Each structure stands twice: as C-alpha cells, then as structure tokens.
Structure 1
Amino acid sequence: MGSSLIGKSSQRVIEAFTIGIIAGIPEEYLFRGIVLGSLLKNLKFKNQSRRIIVSIIIASLLFSLYHFGNIRYDGFQSVFLQMIQTFGMGFLLATAYVRYASILIPILLHFSINFGVTLVSGTSTSTASSHLSFAILLIDALIVAAFYIIIGMLLLRNHLKNNPLIKKLDLD
C-alpha cells in the first residue's frame, strides 16, 4: 500500500509540474506579452494610470473568457466559477508584468499557482465541487478573485506613474 501511495503522489507532482509549464509559459506569453503589451501600446488615454488599469482589466477579462474553453471538460457551473477566479488571477499576473516590466515574473507566478492547485486538488474541479452548494462555491470564487485583485493593486501602488514597462515599450 505504501508504494502505491508514493506512486500516486509522485504522479500528482509530475501532473502538477506539467500543467504548470503547459499553462504558465504560453498563456503568459499570449495574454501578458502580446495582449496586454498591445493594449498598453494602442489604447489612447492622456492619463497613463488609466491606460494601464484599463489595459489590465481588458487583458484579464480576455484571459478569463479564454478559460470558457474548459467547458468541454467540466460543467458550466465549474467553468463559470473558474472564469471568476481566472479574472482575478489574470489581474494579478498583469499587474506583476506591469510592475516588474518582465514576462518572467508572471510566468513563475502562473506556474506556481497552477502547480499548487493541481498538487492539492488534481485536475478535475467538477467532482470535488459537486458536494458543495453553488452559492458557497460562488462566494469562494469571488473571495479568491478579490484576493488576487487586492494583491495586484498592492503591486501597482506607487508604480503607475513613471512605470518601467511603459518606458520599456517606449510609450511616453
């Protein structure tokens, strides 16, 4: 029995690592590198802080909508809850990208979040959550999203003006 438990646990680590890599790198390159970078370059606001916040919100919304594709694996309710959480996560990842002017930080954060969640709960969200009421799961998703957004806002605090990413993209 012990070796079976060790085998399952090492398989879970490999699964978590694989999901972290598969999601972290391409999704960050697409949503922070391309989408957010393009929004920051092309949205026209006189106020630099407004341009950054609006760009982050749009990129986060697109990141959330992208996860609607998971509906083929999980039910609508699970995917809806995931989309709420991924909006918050996208906000955090976008603020990290803007704050540090590097795609590496959001990649590492995204990998860490996906690795940890997969390690703890596996890849399926629908079976684990079917025992709880939708209202409780919705509150949980909103709390997780709010947590990510608050951390993101703290990352941005005092870094909207004279932002290094804006200078790096040569947008002034």
Structure 2
Amino acid sequence: MQKETTFTKMIRLIILFIVLEIVIQELLAFNLVDWIYYQFGIGQLFSNFIYKTIEVVVVLALNFFITKQKIYLFNEFNWLKLCFWLFLILITIPFFDMPNLLESVTNGIMGGFSEELLCRGVILGVFLSYIVKKDKYSYHNLLISITGSSIIFGLMHLTNLTHTSLSYTLIQVLISSIGGLTFAFIYLYTGNIFYPIAVHLVNNWIRSSDTTNNIQSYSLALFGYSLVLIFIISLWYFRKHNPKLIELIKIDSKMSLETL
C-alpha cells in the first residue's frame, strides 16, 4: 500500500508540475511577451528569446518547489565524448552560411535548453529516481521510464495546436516522442544534461534551415541516421551496462539515506 501511495504521489507531482508549467507559459508568459511585443515594438526573435528564457526560469523554479529533482552535470573526459562534440561541430559547419543563421541558432538554443531541462532533467529524472530509491531498477523499468518521459515530451507539443493544423501537430507529437528516446539515452550515458541539450540544439538549428545545397542535405541526413544509430546501440548497450545517470542517482540516494 505504501509503494502504491509513493508511486501515486510521484505521478501527482509530475502532473502538477506539467499543468503549472503549461498554464504559466501558455497563459501568463505568452500574454506578457505579447504585450511587450506590441508595447515596445521588439522583434519576433527577441520576443521568442524572452519567452523561452521565462520558460527555463519557470521549469527551474517549479522543480525547486515541487519535484525537487537533481539535474545532473557529470563531467568526465573520454574519447567518445570528444568525438561527440567534434561530430556536432562538423555537422553544423555547412549551415553557417545559411541566410537565417541567427534565427535558427537562437531557436535551437531556446528550444534545447527549456525542453531538455523539463523532459529529461526533471521528468525522466523523477522516474529514474523513483525506480532507484524503490530498488526496482531493471532494464525493463528503465525502458518504461524513458518511454514515459518521451511520450510526455511528445504530447506537450499539442500546445502547438494554437498556431498549427491538427495533422501537422500530430506528426510533431510522434516525431518528438521518438526523438525524445534518443535524447534520453544520451542523458543516461553521459549523466550530463548539456549533452542532450546540445543534440537538441543542433537538431532544431539544422532542421529549421532552408537547405540549399547537397552538402547541407548530406549533413542533415547523416545527423538523422546518427540519432537512429545511437538509439539502436543504446538499446543493446544498456541491456548489459548500468547507465552513468543511474550510477549517479544511486550514489545520491545512498548519501541521502546515510544522512537520515
């Protein structure tokens, strides 16, 4: 009965977090930025920047007061991580001469930070912390946690119905849910939220570009295939190895028990 109550409490906290985040962003923040836009005549790019900055602050504040989930920034050098950063740099080079460079990069940064902090840093973190603290960690429960957080990530794109068609929004929901799986695997392997943020940033950046040459098309295709490859390898790898993120959560869980 106690386990059920604890699980129910976790779900209620996540629901409360998401509802408050959506209400604050879609009603309060949106109307505030809209008022600033017309009152002071700021540009669309700066308006989006203000809106996404508010979202980051809201996510961090709600996490502090409601979910209290630690967002991990584990930093340890290895050659695979170095190759990761070099790969992202090489992928983006063909897009530096795009006409809408500033807008694409800014949108990538804004979307990457807020959405990864929310869906991987907080929601996935809450799910994983629960199964670790309840000594229920298994490959099966790991996949359930990843899938659950990714579906939530996809469903949150339903808010786009305010300005896009139903069919297009549903496609966004599906693609975002699938992409969320890969972002989650990257966070699991590295134990550092900045890695999925970086991939999310690059993804938003290059996909929002007006592709004009073959090199950009090849880079875009290579990036997409790489995300699929990461997903497939991760499914095999985490069947046999504990993710770094799980190890970090276990350490924190053990330390919290020792201080009680």
Q: TM-score, length-normalised on structure 2?
A: 0.49
Q: What's 1:158 paired with?
A: 237
Structure scoring higher RCO (CA < 8 A, sep ≥ 6) equals 1
Q: What's 1:105 paired with?
A: 195
Q: What's 1:40 paired with?
A: 128
Query: Which deviations, in whole Å up to 9, do the C-alpha atoms of 1:32-72 show, x marking residues without a partner?
Result: 01000100011457452122111100000000001111111
Task: Supply the distance in 2 between the matched residues of 1:74 and 1:18 (Cα, whole angstroms).
Answer: 21
CA contact (8 A) 2:186 2:196 kept: yes
Larger radius of gyration: 2
CA contact (8 A) 2:183 2:200 kept: yes
User: How many residues are aligned here?
Assistant: 140
Task: Supply the distance in 2 between the matched residues of 1:71 and 1:30 (Cα, whole angstroms).
Answer: 20
Task: Supply the distance in 1 between the matched residues of 2:180 and 2:190 (Cα, whole angstroms).
Answer: 15
- SS class of match (2:141): helix
Q: What's 1:85 paired with?
A: 175
Of residues 102, 107, 112 in structure 2, which corresponds to 1:19? 107
Query: Which deviations, in whole Å up to 9, do the C-alpha atoms of 1:1-26 show, x marking residues without a partner?
Result: xxxxxxxx53x111111110110001
Task: Supply the distance in 2 between the matched residues of 1:96 and 1:23 (Cα, whole angstroms).
Answer: 17
Which stretches in structure 2 are left out of the alignment for 5+ residues?
Answer: 1-97, 212-223, 255-260
User: Is residue 28 of structure 1 aligned with residue 111 of structure 2?
Assistant: no
Query: Which deviations, in whole Å up to 9, do the C-alpha atoms of 1:83-121 show, x marking residues without a partner?
Result: 110011111101111111111110000000000111137
Instruction: Map 1:2-151 to 2 at 5 A.
Output: 9-10=98-99, 12-43=100-131, 46-120=136-210, 148=227, 151=230
CA contact (8 A) 1:60 1:87 kept: yes
Which stretches in structure 1 are left out of the alignment for 5+ residues?
Answer: 1-8, 122-143
CA contact (8 A) 2:112 2:201 kept: yes
CA contact (8 A) 1:63 1:86 kept: yes
Task: Supply the distance in 1 between the matched residues of 2:209 and 2:140 (Cα, whole angstroms).
Answer: 37
Percent identity among equivalent residues? 26
Shift of the 65–148 alpha-carbon distance from structure 1 to 2, 3 Å rule, reads farther
Q: What RMSD, in angstroms, separates the aligned Cα atoms of the two structures?
A: 2.3
Q: Give the CA deviation at 1:162.
A: 2.5
Q: TM-score, length-normalised on structure 1?
A: 0.73
CA contact (8 A) 2:139 2:238 kept: no
Question: Partner letter of residue 153 of structure 1?
Answer: I
CA contact (8 A) 1:91 1:149 kept: no
Task: Supply the distance in 1 between the matched residues of 2:147 and 2:135 (Cα, whole angstroms).
Answer: 15
Q: What's 2:35 paired with?
A: none
Task: Supply the distance in 2 between the matched residues of 1:13 and 1:105 (Cα, whole angstroms).
Answer: 22
Q: Give the CA deviation at 1:151.
A: 3.2
Task: Supply the distance in 1 between the matched residues of 2:229 and 2:160 (Cα, whole angstroms).
Answer: 26
39-48 vs 77-86, which moves further: 39-48
Question: Partner letter of residue 118 of structure 2?
Answer: L
